[in-house]
Structure 1
């Protein structure tokens, strides 16, 4: 990024920073992406619990299914990068190659394991080269079930007196239905009902696919989020493109079944840090906008907001938070709830020497 754009970014940050002092009451929701995954291996009870300690408004589990029909939290149904399964001799013969959403994926898949078998595995850090401190926790935590995550939230609510939101994502529901015959959306509804949760609770259900959200909309009153990526389209709707869904006519269609959209940060911010039209267009369609993903490491930040050349070093996360708030997003997914909360309370952006 050139110096001119860098100066524009800094000017935009300066313009919105004075409003941040009130962000704790009216600013974007802080959604702990896979828990406090910047400090603990993602999708572990430890990561979710730390995010709750740090004050996140919502915790976000990605949900896949086991062979015996139990929803568990993993970033993907392929688990070689987030567990120690590849080192387990008993499961060598479970390695497979499957075509998921049009791409060949080789590894070990949750739908080929019972919950009891998954319980013999332990979680590991997915990005050890960027987050070596997280790797110190490798081997300590099991793969949690969605029921356990709900139980953790209810226990912490009782302890703290604060409502804690749940923001589950249905991962690859069409593929998993075809592979296992299990409707993960229906299982999700059963789990919420079994836990005594009701649609007025702070719960958002999200998916990159459209059909499961339409199904949920017709069967329930839960708040729903259509995830929209910068490229491609929903795996269950080959003729539909995310680009078209993000245009005013597409947003009006999404608003027929969803309450919000979840979009990548570059879809709401131009390269110079100014807002695109997406948030205004979505708000005109009566959709909230939740942006993903705010992370502290240089590797995930725009060049103008990096400190130094080390990809794993912390960059200027507060500046990006300020730009997102200035774009009037309604929520922000973040791997780093505590820095995001500090930014939301008006932490000034201090350039490093």
Structure 2
């Protein structure tokens, strides 16, 4: 190999690995035409393939020098997509089947972005949820849509938090002077021992946006039996990790929108049910609903790129009435807590236990529902998964379906917990997750799957051409 060819590949290696796309698109085309990417490692080739492909789509794209601090660096509009090792770990763990053979055959495929792969709070299987690093990790795994769960601060600014009252488990607030402002701050006895670990509660509405931004995100966990704050905060589940918790930059909704736009992705904000009794001062629920949509309008985001969500059907009704353009993609989130008929116990195979029929939801103007995964899949009692009656009725009514969330449980040897309710005979090892995804995609017909580790869904979607 000539020294010129070596130098060219070394330069390409640097650009692909660092995402410093300084070469004009025309040079990328020349590099591709001369085959200089041939022979590089599969991981690098995946990154190069995306750089070249996206440069062809955007001839004016170029990079610039950025901060090396990952918590503050401005992201590139182009990212190199990568699966990492987990998707194939799951494929290897599958029982022998035609599906396993097919998924295994895709091992050498180039990772690509897919709207079928929806980031749930970023990539919180290993990164602190709703943080810059978590979102960027999800984007690099090929998630086509990023979620921001929306809560409001004391000064009525919108921020990304899964719940208005989770700062004590998802941030370092208890280790800061802001702990004193919590709705239920930590209390200590004369010996300095924590006495109310099971009652601590810190809300976004306890602090201002500026104060919120001073905090750092951590893995969501809290030891309710702890006797010290250190014990309380250092409670990450053993199947997760604190390896990527060093930065934990928190984002306002406006910052999340800018990040998502810069990455060329779509948006799915969820309006969280307030922990505060509304109105909060003079701030009403309608103002909250309106503020969310107005934030996207002000940022110039087209309505068809936004999938606004809520578990509160009244929120969706408000958008249908007042924001019909955004309401076309509005998503009604569903589990047994908000869609169980009065006096009944929810049964995914018994329509008489459901609060609303699917046709009633469709008649209201709702186009997309997002039930929890276990509502959509049932079992024949012999280890075979299949669509539930809930899924069949939704399809019959012409509703589009999204579902949440996979990769949110620990190892599946014991059935996987709540997200796999009623599937204990069919889910007994990690590899069964791929079969579960396949039933959701091919038999239920969902249009997208939320995941705490988007690479898993992205790999499946790329292999199946979704």
TM-score normalised by structure 1 residue count: 0.77
Q: Distance in 1 between matches of 2:130 and 2:151?
A: 12
- Runs of 4+ deviating beyond 4 Å: 13-22, 173-176, 237-249, 301-304
**Correspondent of 1:171 among 272, 283, 306:** 272
Q: Tell me how far 1:259 sits from its aligned partner.
A: 1.7
- 1:42 and 2:129 matched: yes
For residue 315 of structure 1, report the CA deviation from its aligned partner. 4.9
- Offset at 1:108? 0.6
Residues in 2 aligned to 1:31 and 1:132: alpha-carbon distance in whole angstroms: 20
The 1:249–1:263 alpha-carbon spacing in structure 2 relative to 1, beyond 3 Å, is closer
* Residue 124 (structure 1) aligned to one of 210, 218, 223: 218
Distance (whole Å) between structure 2 residues aligned to residue 344 and residue 86 of structure 1: 40
SS at match of 1:167: strand
Higher strand fraction (1 or 2): 1
Q: Is the 8 A contact 1:96 1:107 kept in 2?
A: yes
Relative contact order, CA 8 A, sep 6+: which one is greater?
A: 1
Q: 1 CA distance for matches of 2:161 and 2:451?
A: 17
Pairwise mapping of residues 45-194 of structure 1 onto structure 2 (< 5 A)? 45-78=132-165, 79-96=167-184, 106-127=200-221, 128-133=236-241, 135-157=242-264, 164-173=265-274, 175=276, 177-180=278-281, 181-182=283-284, 183-194=287-298
**Equivalent residue in structure 2 for 1:332, among 438, 449, 455:** 449
SS of 2:170's partner is coil
Residue correspondence of structure 1 range 308-347 to structure 2 within 5 A: 315-326=431-442, 327-346=444-463
CA pair 89-245 structure 1, distance change in 2 beyond 3 A: farther
User: Taking structure 1 as reference, are residues 215 and 90 closer, same or farther at Cα in structure 2, changes over 3 Å only?
Assistant: closer
Structure-2 change in CA distance of 1:239 and 1:63 (3 Å): farther
SS in 1 for 2:168: coil
- Which structure 1 segments of 5+ residues have no match? 1-8, 98-103, 158-163, 308-313, 348-353
Deviation at 1:93, TM superposition (A): 4.4
CA contact (8 A) 1:305 1:317 kept: yes
What TM-score does the superposition give when structure 2 sets the normalisation length? 0.60
SS in 2 for 1:141: coil
Residue aligned with 1:267, SS: helix
Aligned residue-pair number: 314
- Aligned counterpart, 2:315: 212
Q: Secondary structure at the match of 1:81?
A: helix
1:254 aligns with 2:361: yes
SS of residue matched to 1:86: helix
1:268-297 Cα distance to aligned partner (Å, 9 max, x none): 111341111222321222211111111173
Give, in whole Å, the separation in 2 of the partners of 1:44 and 1:83: 10
Match of 2:338 in 1: 233
**Equivalents in 1 of 2:201, 2:171: separation in Å?**
11
User: How far is the alpha carbon of 1:169 from its aligned partner?
Assistant: 0.6
- SS of residue in 2 equivalent to 1:72: strand
